[in-house]
Structure 1
């Protein structure tokens, strides 16, 4: 809706309000009528789809301080609206406090308080008194007179970030810490104080470091659970009462509360535990308990009933990323980036969790019948604090609300939700977060046996100890068939290969954010060897996330969905070829979602991620949708459609490869032989000790002229006077040396190819018997083909288009060279032979022109400009001839050159 239309609709609402006022019916309008007749229509006029719960939804009443509506974009709440009846006094401090505090506890910046007669906008982050936190104060007559201010709350304005830009006019305001940061700080301080205090009594508290961590974790989890019960109105203020009424030991008072909660909720969280036996000073326990009611300065009172699972999950993910550094004198918590990287602890933003769940769980729920939904099994194999499982739980609750008007939430936790994590504390946190989702009355809670601690990838106790996880034993409904992938792994020595699940046993949906740990960072040799033998890899430079992909596909049922957020590096790198092959042999890829460069998904990680959604399904023809996020506030936009068959050509995932590009590549391949059929591909020499064998002047008869990759250009090379002391007999004594045979270098003619090119083929011709260090050499093989014909094709725009389609690697490796298509020539057909010969002549012309150009060095002269123009003209002629050679149309050429 545009501004003029919006104005017109809002004028009608104002006229309607004036009529109600004139008729003396203001007092008749209760809150629900006001919302229905005025407030929702007002926001509808501002462009919001108020009937779409994905955009505007009523807030659940889980806390006495709830507001009425959340307004969302891309699954992220942008502001809350607290609605009041027409007769309300918007200056009531309780109304204002409720709106601001609720928004802050939810981690949302903006809060709107309105009865339509007036509208106030507050910034919940400003550390000001309520009146100074007010950013807008409009009456309904201002809606037209000051329409631009009202328009700041329009969907269009929120999408474009206008409200945030406008708020900058207030200057820099002191901000409250976000609720997640504030509570995180409190938890970390509590953990540190408890550790220090427990260690103060070594004779009374005889426990190991691991036991200490677990005891403190359990204590804090219990306190948060109790505070949540209190703020949701389920329980009285037990903890404050214990502090105020303690007679001797606050620890004993807490023990009574824990036993009461164990009886009432029957949760593992409150069963007798080591944390109850520890000696802790009263003043320390009191300080920690009080810190869960309000901040130290008393300015903020916490409402755990309003803190949702997303905020709590964010707090706990960061909490898990801290290492407890202990000494005999002190205990300090320290967060290290390296620890988080090693453990794969990166909190996934809620909009990504939401997208993955909607495109996996949501897809199955679209068509599934209730009996099927009752049996759905959803797994996160690296569940962390449980954010993906919590969102999946919400999706199932939403389904049952529509089908049967609701279902007992504990049944969903027991029947549908599964999680595994290597970190015992993460498992406990996930269990608590899930239990809080079912907590509305004092009743017995389910024992969450489906959330387990273990190593999802390793089932051998010799490697993983008590963390070894045998899936069939832990979850007996899993039964693997003996079927293997259609294409076995490239390692013939592998003792066991991943097996594809062919039966209907397994999980329906697997979702999550697996750890990103490169194999070279795995310090345990036995663990690394286990991965090498158990999973498909191509080099030693693999990553644990690729093993999670393989394991997830094995654990999936047929037709099951897998949705992971992963690094984007693996789409084309050779080290992940077997993983890509395994995916394509067993699944269809539904979606690959990338992110615009302006989006930083993980705030403390350099990794650039993508979302992949696959389905375990055998299907001959399938189209992959490539989508892209341009803003976290909007759903991703479709970029292109990719035939899955195109990925099978080279087992690389090129998300830019649409149908048009795929047709071109298929056409080129059908007319071609692969490069090794025309020439012999070999690597240059490796001395094993460059300091010893490389020199800047000739010193004896064994010295040979040497080129490096950086000396090679397109149709040219520059020798900088470097020599190699070529003594293969001595070089071979070095383990990493590869001196090669002298005949390879001293052939009458050969092509030289630079390896590190930045994704562009750079090749030249050599008939001066240069030796080459490490980069690639192409030797004549098929006698009918002139090697300069191959040179012209390699340096053409078409072949560069091709190489970029099969790899994003900056290095042109031999494995990539072997896939390059060289047009076959039928030499008995004169037109084809002429094209071959003409390309040879043009390649020679390019060599001659570039040789002449080198004489000018850096000098800018008219002759140099003439030569450069002639080189460009000849290069274009080669491209035109290559296009003709491969039979490409004008439209196909435009696609190639517009790459």
Structure 2
């Protein structure tokens, strides 16, 4: 008998049992826990899922995560099941109900499961009490007043399970999910028309909060200049978001920020919460020795109340416990493309930065691009190494923006170390020297160690630097609980997060501090921000530089961008490598070569016109003499960046020279490469 036939028989037996005692199961006292144990668990077990963890995996490796229900007012804190692939990638949530609930008409349950699925950027999720089985399209933004039928793509009752068995098996059985049928169902079912993805909605929320705060702060703090207002607004938003995410991850008490709205000056109440956070987290986010502006701010109660209220159920569509750092990164990258301008009358204007406007917008790197570049640079360097050896590897993004590449590199290292220790180490008993928790996750100390040792970034925008730090700290804090943080404070006397001030720096990656040797006017230093790589990272350059340089450098033609190119022309890198008709990103390849050690990897995504451009001869000459071309991924006509025209490619190089080195070329000329770039035709060329 095949596994599918066995599943059919097991589900048929469940249906028969449910039918025979239907009236007793429909009574209110037959609760959700019993429903899960008697029917929902066996249903998914029949479909091949390891519901009870018979394989004995550590918690971090389980196929199915059972969430504990935590009631917060009338809101349910988590769906009952999270179904995952090996490695932890979520597929879908399942919300369980008892049979006395009419799932078909339950507005609250539908909103909750859609809110979770939408926030986690999953395509579908399910509500079931076994009697009914509702599948929801989670790409549509959930609204509390939506009827239960909104975004429901399929509804089945237990009487139809056998008639619909082929569909159920082909879509939700573990065997078929691993073969890709689940993905096909998503592509065929989800109605993308008019969808509002969580990252784009969150960007709109960020823009709204920025406008409200900027308006209030500029009007009530007329002694602050534009830069100080931009800084104050950004820091306030970052701190609120960090703490709100901490609440939904059960690190902070739920509703803690709402305490600020009870009486008096709401902003000063909020600032008191920020100061308490500094004692616990130690991140630069709450460093009030460095930030002398925030403590004296005057902000209208109305503005603070509006922002805080929008962050909580049911007004907020966001479920922050499942809102990934990568999703936040997309929203922040776009957010950072704009800046607050204050008119002489102290009115607020939000404008695109000149370089963003001229480049045609912000190019946020899709996650599959980040993962491919990280795997083929960082991945190749760490393969076969021990954690001790890996601790010496230094990874940098010289134009880090909101930190997408650094988050990708950090996540890769976290996964590598977790897999290494679970294969080679023993489960932690709770001492400081251990690297794993009893659940099979990396300890806080180990996550901090990896972050501080391996991850570095530079950006000319101070607000981008702060967002990168925020994103990395949130990634570092994943898996923490209020108990684990209290344990760390009481046993090890350590605050939970590291400071990243020595890792993520604000400065101009392209212009060294010797820029001013020939300059008499120092008035524009704040704008140009000269930066010395060797003075800032002396220990790294004692080891000859970075091991990996990755990123998505800014694209910009010189024509119409004189004020951006002009300072570079006066610098050493401009004098050496400037050329007519060049693109701004060429300079970042040159700088990448400068700071990369021998045999290190450089991986960028850029536009692809440089290979045949009149303005790239200096770039091509330097690549051909100082780098080995390892991989080129040519996307041809495939649109990598949403709303951006042009052709793009990934280029991965090794610093050195080897005339026998083969170059791998992948051409994407049809289909969608986001699932796996490596499935495309590979050609091998010899340099």
Same fold (TM over 0.5): yes
| SS of residue paired to 2:539 | coil
Instruction: State how 1:403-482 maps to structure 2 within 5 Å.
Output: 403-404=420-421, 405=436, 406-407=442-443, 408-439=446-477, 440=480, 441=482, 442=485, 443-448=495-500, 449-460=502-513, 461-462=515-516, 465=525, 467-479=529-541
Aligned counterpart, 1:579: 619
Aligned partners of 1:148 and 1:450: how far apart in 2?
53
Would you say the 8 A contact 2:510–2:568 is kept in 1? Answer: no
Instruction: State how 1:480-499 maps to structure 2 within 5 Å.
Output: none
Match of residue 594, structure 1, among 626, 634, 646: 634
Aligned partners of 2:304 and 2:98: how far apart in 1?
47
Would you say the 8 A contact 1:31–1:83 is kept in 2? Answer: no
Would you say the 8 A contact 1:242–1:250 is kept in 2? Answer: yes
> How many Å apart are 1:559 and its aligned residue?
2.5
| SS of residue paired to 1:182 | helix
Aligned partners of 1:545 and 1:469: how far apart in 2?
18
Aligned counterpart, 2:544: 505
| SS of residue paired to 2:657 | coil
Q: Structure 1 residues 305, 367: closer, same or farther in 2, change over 3 A?
A: same
Would you say the 8 A contact 2:507–2:530 is kept in 1? Answer: yes
Q: Structure 1 residues 72, 458: closer, same or farther in 2, change over 3 A?
A: farther
Matched, 1:644 2:670: no
Aligned partners of 1:34 and 1:375: how far apart in 2?
52
> How many Å apart are 1:142 and its aligned residue?
3.8
Matched, 1:618 2:657: yes
Would you say the 8 A contact 1:536–1:578 is kept in 2? Answer: no
Would you say the 8 A contact 2:85–2:91 is kept in 1? Answer: yes
> How many Å apart are 1:339 and its aligned residue?
2.5
Larger radius of gyration: 1
Aligned partners of 1:508 and 1:18: how far apart in 2?
58
Q: Deviations over 1:752-772 (max 9, x none)?
A: xxxxxxxxxxxxxxxxxxxxx
> How many Å apart are 1:185 and its aligned residue?
1.9
| SS of residue paired to 1:217 | helix
Q: Deviations over 1:158-203 (max 9, x none)?
A: 68855444455xx97x75x4322333222212211222222323xx
Aligned counterpart, 1:225: 242
Q: Structure 1 residues 338, 187: closer, same or farther in 2, change over 3 A?
A: same
| SS of residue paired to 2:663 | strand
Aligned counterpart, 1:352: 369
Aligned counterpart, 1:791: none
Aligned counterpart, 2:667: 628
- CA RMSD across the alignment: 4.0
Aligned counterpart, 2:488: none
Matched, 1:132 2:150: yes
Would you say the 8 A contact 1:377–1:416 is kept in 2? Answer: yes
Matched, 1:561 2:577: no
With 355-364 and 62-71 compared, the bigger mean Cα shift is at: 62-71
When the two structures are superposed, what TM-score results if normalisation uses the length of structure 2?
Answer: 0.77
Q: Structure 1 residues 533, 347: closer, same or farther in 2, change over 3 A?
A: closer
Q: Structure 1 residues 402, 627: closer, same or farther in 2, change over 3 A?
A: same
Q: Deviations over 1:359-389 (max 9, x none)?
A: 2222223211221112221111111111111
Q: Structure 1 residues 373, 302: closer, same or farther in 2, change over 3 A?
A: same
- Listed as ranges, the gaps of 5+ residues in structure 1 are 481-503, 646-899
Aligned counterpart, 1:178: 197
Aligned partners of 1:231 and 1:378: how far apart in 2?
31
Aligned partners of 1:392 and 1:32: how far apart in 2?
40
Aligned partners of 1:344 and 1:422: how far apart in 2?
17
Match of residue 93, structure 2, among 81, 87, 105: 81
Would you say the 8 A contact 2:631–2:664 is kept in 1? Answer: yes
Matched, 1:100 2:114: yes
Aligned partners of 1:567 and 1:196: how far apart in 2?
38
Q: Structure 1 residues 58, 15: closer, same or farther in 2, change over 3 A?
A: closer
Would you say the 8 A contact 2:124–2:136 is kept in 1? Answer: yes
Q: Deviations over 1:274-309 (max 9, x none)?
A: 022122222222122212225xxx554432222111
Q: Structure 1 residues 511, 199: closer, same or farther in 2, change over 3 A?
A: same
Q: Structure 1 residues 148, 12: closer, same or farther in 2, change over 3 A?
A: closer
Aligned counterpart, 1:322: 338
> How many Å apart are 1:544 and its aligned residue?
2.2
Aligned partners of 1:29 and 1:556: how far apart in 2?
60
Q: Structure 1 residues 634, 438: closer, same or farther in 2, change over 3 A?
A: closer
When the two structures are superposed, what TM-score results if normalisation uses the length of structure 1?
Answer: 0.60
Would you say the 8 A contact 2:66–2:82 is kept in 1? Answer: no
Aligned partners of 1:422 and 1:43: how far apart in 2?
51
| SS of residue paired to 2:451 | helix
Aligned partners of 2:129 and 2:7: how far apart in 1?
13
Aligned partners of 2:100 and 2:418: how far apart in 1?
33
Aligned partners of 1:137 and 1:401: how far apart in 2?
40
Would you say the 8 A contact 2:665–2:685 is kept in 1? Answer: no
Aligned counterpart, 1:256: 272
| SS of residue paired to 1:469 | coil
Aligned counterpart, 2:11: 17
Aligned partners of 1:617 and 1:88: how far apart in 2?
69
Would you say the 8 A contact 1:344–1:515 is kept in 2? Answer: no
Aligned partners of 1:102 and 1:163: how far apart in 2?
17
Matched, 1:192 2:206: no
Q: Structure 1 residues 166, 530: closer, same or farther in 2, change over 3 A?
A: same
| SS of residue paired to 1:509 | strand
Matched, 1:266 2:282: yes
Aligned partners of 1:512 and 1:146: how far apart in 2?
47
Would you say the 8 A contact 1:112–1:120 is kept in 2? Answer: yes
Aligned partners of 2:467 and 2:575: how far apart in 1?
30
Matched, 1:292 2:304: no
Match of residue 300, structure 2, among 264, 269, 281: 281
Q: Structure 1 residues 456, 167: closer, same or farther in 2, change over 3 A?
A: closer
Q: Structure 1 residues 410, 538: closer, same or farther in 2, change over 3 A?
A: closer
Would you say the 8 A contact 1:343–1:515 is kept in 2? Answer: no
Match of residue 240, structure 1, among 248, 258, 276: 258
Q: Deviations over 1:3-51 (max 9, x none)?
A: xx9xx64332021334567799999999699898753663789xxxx99
Aligned partners of 1:275 and 1:29: how far apart in 2?
52
Aligned partners of 2:661 and 2:102: how far apart in 1?
57
Q: Structure 1 residues 29, 364: closer, same or farther in 2, change over 3 A?
A: farther
| SS of residue paired to 1:379 | strand
Q: Structure 1 residues 456, 9: closer, same or farther in 2, change over 3 A?
A: same
| SS of residue paired to 1:614 | strand
> How many residues are paired up?
598
Q: Structure 1 residues 288, 32: closer, same or farther in 2, change over 3 A?
A: same
Matched, 1:211 2:246: no
Q: Deviations over 1:563-601 (max 9, x none)?
A: 21111111232422332232232332221112252x322
